[in-house]
Every structure is written in structure tokens, then in C-alpha cells.
Structure 1
């Protein structure tokens, strides 16, 4: 879905049984789902201070789009799957990976204290295990779609099924597409740390790619992808699969395999992902609560 420019055809949306969201919101409602993206500017200083208090840290990416989000709501069951920067940073803090060793890091990373020697004691790459947030709200329609505190958790079960990437590559009208940047850090011009969420809606279903992409120039590359695919059901529950794939490799290991190690060769994670070995892979299926769902 990288770099896609999509012309949205209202006729295609109507033919597929969908409708654009009202009140100026970006997204659409289709087959019992409400899909919405919100893209806002980076956090203000007061907002960032509040995040510092909540997350109990003063370490943050350079650019946090804390009010941006991607939300997918299954209206009948109250199931809400959403993607946001705050929850992703909770995951980063909880995982607490050791900092990537970079010889010049003490010189370039700490922009707020450029003339002081500071010890790297946290994961400055903001790598996160985050694969999305979810909740079930049985009163979602009454609450205008908002999740209430009384909601329950969404259930994901491990499965052997795989997302059909071949079917996703078929020529099908794209009813809606958007990309939401959640946070980004250029590692003081020594690489990139980027978390994005992309969504694509077709007549047959929707597809989401949540991607964390890290490149520490000359040292390490890390790619953590979470793909979600929903196949719209006809008089049945929709099938939603979630597939997580983590890849990681050092520049020295790539050089040993004969791959180039210049930074210019590694600007697009979609192109080079196959060069990075898989270190973790898991597929799960969303289990809907049939007692509260009335499709």
C-alpha cells in the first residue's frame, strides 16, 4: 500500500453498499463496519507534558501525532479495533528493550543536552510490540460509537489460517484508502524510527497494515508488521485475521550475505523486507461475542 494515490469513486462505494461518514469525518460505513481515520498535528507542549505524567517518562519520539488515529468499529457487536500513538508508546515502555549500541549515540541523540555526556539507558529507537488496541462495547450504538469504561476485551485466538495476500493483490475497486503516521524520529539524521497505520477498503473487505520501521544507519534494521484482514460476511460473522511478523538484521549480517550496506539501498521497508530474517510470526483470528452480536 506504499505511496498509493487513490481516486475515491462515490459510485463504487454506493454499489458496494457503503456510504461516506457524515459530519466531515474521513472514512465510510460498509457491511456493518464504520472505518474512520483522523490526522492531526503533533502534540503541543502542554499535551506532551500530560503524556510525560501518564507514561512516567521524559523520553519521546521527535514527532508524536498523538491525536491521530485509525478506528474500525463493528457496530452490531461493539467491537472496536483502533491504532494510536499513546498505546504504542505504552508497549515500548513495557518491552523496555536495551538501547541499540551506536558509537556516536552519546553525541548525537540527546539534542536537549548537546554539550553533556549522557548515558544511554533506554530504548531510544522507540521500538514497540504494539499490534493495535481493541475493546468491546455492547452499548456502542447508544453511546454514539464511543467506547465506554464498562466494555470488555476483544478475544483473539491463535490459528493456522493465513491472510490471502494473493487475493488482496487482485484488481478490486478501492473504496477508501488512508495512511496515518503515529510517531516518527529521525535519530538525529542517523536513521529513522517510524510507526504508521494504513487502511484499504474494498467491496470484499478491509485490510490494515500497522508498521514499525527502524533503521539505525550502519548498525541495525528492524521491521515489525501487523496485518489485519476482514472478509465481509453474508448473513454471517465477518472473518478477521491478524498476522504479526517481526524481522530484524544487522548491517554486518547483510554484508556477509552479499547485500549492499549503503543507506540509500534501505529507504523503503516494503522493498527490502524479504532480506530481513523473520524472528517472530503469529496469526490470530478475532472471536466475536455471538451473544451480543445481531447481524
Structure 2
């Protein structure tokens, strides 16, 4: 069975999507539609912008979404998923790819999500850190014992977690994690504490937009970051997406459940190849590849 997976923030690169634009009239139409929906020329930034311009959250998130969803759409009949999943932002890409969301609705949600997250970051200075070489439960316990807000935010693969929270609390947790034997506990160059309670203002803002968007029955199940199990009910998908911003990304558990349900072949759709690497670290026997035109 084929599982198609969609990357999140951090996979952007200069010139992203230009090959799609030049190879397909359908891609041209979708990029043009995206410029109209967003009200600015994101295509120009994706194709010609600097790395710094692409790092702006309000650009990064829609750019990665567009690269992923447009690639899935122009693949045509070769895009035949038995199941899908997306890492954080990638979950909205996956929901467009499996036809739960219309392309323009998905793009509007991504843009609102980006702006809401940016605003929450500015209101509460915060950060994230990658932790390597410790069991999940040890990281969770140390976060729970640390003064202030710090939580496990991304379960990327066994031995690789990301923690998220207030700057002082994350720094203190990093020191404690190193003492507990972490190979590394390294601050990440991000704007704030994604997938933590500090994203509550963004979650509330995005919830209204999600509730006002039409979710239809998907073409195949999605394994969502919050639940980790196969979901096909539009109302349940909608509810899980609302809680995604403040809940951890349970990528390890999602991939394990996809494999348990029959996935043998994982195809990464969008920029970068981070998810292929994570899938291999979760299960070496899984086949992985990059989606191409």
C-alpha cells in the first residue's frame, strides 16, 4: 500500500516550484489562482525570492503548501494514495491531496494559520529545541519537572524529539536533558513555541476559520498529527485540525500506525526529503521515494 506524506515548515528553498510552473499549464493556473487568493505575488517570491524572504512565516507556510499540493495535482493518474499524512503544516496539504479540502480553501487556511502563529509568537517570546538520543518518556518527564511552560512538541522518530515553550523553560530543560544523557539539546532557529500551549491564541483564531470551511469525505484515510490513527469522518478531521496547533505532532506514532495498517511504500510530496529520512528511522524496512512529475 502507498502512503503519501507531506512536509512542514523548514523544507522551503529558493526557486521552489518553478520547475512545476514551467512543466505544466495546470500548475500555471494553480499558481495564478494562489496569487489571487493571497492578494500578493507569492509565485515571484517562491521563484526569485531570497532565503530570508522565504523564511517569513506568512510566506513559508503557503509556499510549502503550494509546492506540495500543486505537485500532487499535476501528477495526475500516477497520484493514487491508499493513505496520507502531513507533518504539522503538511497536514493541510494532505487534506487537499485526498480531497477533504478544496485547493483554495486549504490555501486560505494555511495563510490564516501562518498569520495567527506569527501573531502568537510576537505576543509571547518563545522557542523550540531539538533533543537527540533520549527515550520519549525521559524527555516528557524532564519537561514536566521544569519550571515554566515547556512540552514535547514533535515526536519525529525514535530518539529525536523537539521541545517547545517559554525561552527560559526551554533553556533549563535543555540543560537537564543533557545531564540526563541527551546526545544533543539544541535550540532551533524558529520564531516561537509551535505545538505548545503558547499557541492557544492562534488556535482560537484559526478555529473560527476551520469551522467556517467545508470538509468533505476524503478519497482515502488521513493519519492526523493529533490522533495518529486513520480518519475518514470529515467532522472528526475538522476537530483534530483545530487542536493541531497546541497539540504535539505525533509523527512517529502516525507512521507506525500507517505501517501497521499495511503501508509499505512512502512517497514524499513537496520540497525537501526530511520525511523520507524520518520514515526510515522509524522502520528501516519501509520503502521511501520522492514524488516527481
Same topology, TM > 0.5:
no
TM range (shorter): under 0.3
For the pair shown, the structure with the greater C-alpha radius of gyration is: 1
Q: When the two structures are superposed, what TM-score results if normalisation uses the length of structure 1?
A: 0.27
Greater share of helix: 2
Q: Which has the higher contact order (CA 8 A, sep 6+)?
A: 2
TM-score, structure 2 length as denominator?
Answer: 0.27
